[in-house]
Amino acid sequence: MTDDLTCPMCDSPAYVCHAAHTDGPGPRIHCRAASGHNFPVPTDDSKDS
């Protein structure tokens, strides 16, 4: 098992973080860094703009 699937924003395993954030508004963008793993995360650039 690799531990590199951790969301850098919330320090939780990316799959857990993604599941948690998908349940609410915008914060799922935290996991877009992990979107290259098993789940496609919508790229929400509103945070960066």
What pLDDT shows up at residue 39? 47
State yes or no: pLDDT of 11 exceeds 60.
yes
Q: What is the dihedral of CA 7, 35, 15, 17, to 10 degrees?
A: 40
Average pLDDT, the chain: 52
What pLDDT shows up at residue 37? 47
The pTM of the full predicted model, rounded to 2 decimals, is 0.24
Between 45 and 7, name the one with better pLDDT: 7
CB 18 within 8 A of CB 12: no
Residue with tokens 């395993």: 13
The pair of three-digit structure tokens given for residue 3, joined into one six-digit string: 């531990």
- Tell me the pLDDT tens digit for each residue of 26-49: 444 445 444 444 444 455 555 554
CA distances from 40 to 20, 35 (A): 15, 5
